[in-house]
């Protein structure tokens, strides 16, 4: 990351980690993941080989929650406080601003995923007898959750730039994210995921299925959202300079 991007990254992370609400989001995300994990375990009794996928599914399903919280105020809060104009006149490029704020929000979302990972460790310590599974598949499940978080973070950042109020940006991320996350997590048993919906499934990574289509879909859509965000911020900068 370039220097202005790194400065923005550190600023956003330091401010967020000093607030009580951030740690409440970590706890809420971990609670949701744990609750969904218990439900999945009860429906898959006697199938320990599916354990990585059973834990990856709740991780992916709940990722819109931290993404919505950590992105909803990235630009809308600065617009409300009047600091967005100052940021637009600073000697930084629009891409550096977008990447710095995006990297901070995604990093915080990854910290939430890492916090929830402690539940999986606790389950392994309490389970008797210890279940047998491939640790690499567990890592692949976390990678799927990170990809889902990448997508929702980019979407949330774009919504924060487009709407005026941060509550609307957060609600929009949840409304758009949860239906897609439900598909990506294979959270609806009645849906046939052997069809075209397999393109959206990120749980397959935890099963050892090396399908690059969902990976490409997440990365490309996230990149598109960031590209649009840069263009929108660029237009705001031109409008701000022309009004002076």
Q: What is the pLDDT of residues 210-231, one digit of tens each?
A: 778 888 888 999 999 999 999 9
Examine the pLDDT at 185 and tell me if it is beyond 70: yes
Burial class (CB within 10 angstroms; exposed 0-12, middle 13-18, buried 19+) of 115: middle
User: Distance between CA 75 and CA 5 in Å, rounded?
Assistant: 15
Stronger pLDDT, 139 or 76, i.e. the higher one = 139
The 10 Å Cβ neighbour count of residue 196 is 8
Largest CA distance in the chain: 70
Give residue-wise pLDDT tens across range 13-57. Answer: 998 999 999 999 999 999 999 888 888 777 765 554 577 888 888
In a domain, 44, yes or no: yes
The verdict on residue 58 lying in a domain is yes
The pTM of this model reads 0.86
Mean predicted lDDT score pLDDT of the chain: 82
pLDDT reported for residue 117: 87
What value does the mean pLDDT take over residues 52-75? 89
Two tokens, residue 28: 């809420």
Cα–Cα separations (whole angstroms), residue 147 to 9, 100, 143, 181, 215: 19, 18, 6, 11, 7
The least confident of 37-51, 89-103, 131-145, 155-169 is 37-51
Domain that holds residue 115: 3-239
Of the candidates 63, 32, 48, the residue with the CA atom closest to the CA atom of residue 137: 48
In a domain, 27, yes or no: yes
Residue 106 forms part of a structural domain: yes
pLDDT confidence tier of residue 173, bands split at 50, 70 and 90: very high
Q: Tell me if 20 is assigned to some domain.
A: yes
Range in 3-7, 90-94, 147-151 the model is least confident about:
90-94
Q: What is the pLDDT of residue 244?
A: 47
Exposure string (b/e) for 121-151, b if CB count within 10 Å is 16 or more?
Answer: eebeeeeeeeeebeeebbebbbebbbbbbbb
Asked if residue 93 is part of any domain, the answer here is: yes
In a domain, 198, yes or no: yes
Cis peptide, bond prior to residue 129, ω within 30 of zero: yes
Total tally of structural domains belonging to the chain: 1
In order of 60, 84, 210, 242, the CA distances from 73 in angstroms are 23, 12, 36, 26
Kindly state the tokens that stand for 39: 């439900």
Q: Is residue 244 part of a domain?
A: no
State pLDDT tens for residues 230-239: 998 888 776 6
């Amino acid at each position: 990351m370039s220097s202005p991007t790194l400065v923005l990254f550190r600023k956003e992370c330091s401010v967020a980690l000093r607030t009580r609400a951030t740690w409440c989001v970590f706890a809420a995300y971990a609670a949701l993941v744990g609750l969904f994990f218990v439900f999945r375990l009860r429906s898959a009794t006697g199938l320990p080989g599916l354990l990585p996928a059973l834990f990856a599914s709740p991780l992916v399903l709940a990722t819109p929650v931290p993404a919505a919280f950590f992105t909803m105020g990235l630009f809308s809060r600065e617009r409300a406080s009047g600091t967005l104009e100052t940021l637009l006149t600073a000697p930084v490029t629009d891409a550096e601003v977008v990447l710095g704020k995006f990297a901070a929000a995604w990093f915080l979302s990854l910290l939430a995923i890492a916090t929830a990972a402690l539940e999986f460790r606790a389950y392994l310590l309490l389970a008797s007898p210890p279940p047998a599974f491939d640790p690499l598949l567990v890592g692949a499940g976390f990678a799927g959750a990170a990809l889902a978080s990448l997508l929702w973070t980019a979407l949330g950042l774009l919504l924060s730039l487009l709407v005026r109020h941060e509550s609307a940006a957060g609600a929009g991320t949840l409304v758009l994210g949860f239906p897609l996350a439900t598909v990506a997590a294979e959270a609806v048993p009645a849906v046939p995921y052997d069809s075209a919906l397999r393109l959206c499934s990120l749980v397959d990574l935890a099963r050892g299925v090396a399908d690059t289509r969902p990976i490409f879909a997440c990365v490309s859509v996230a990149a598109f959202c960031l590209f649009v965000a840069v263009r929108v911020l660029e237009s705001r900068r031109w409008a701000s300079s022309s009004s002076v």
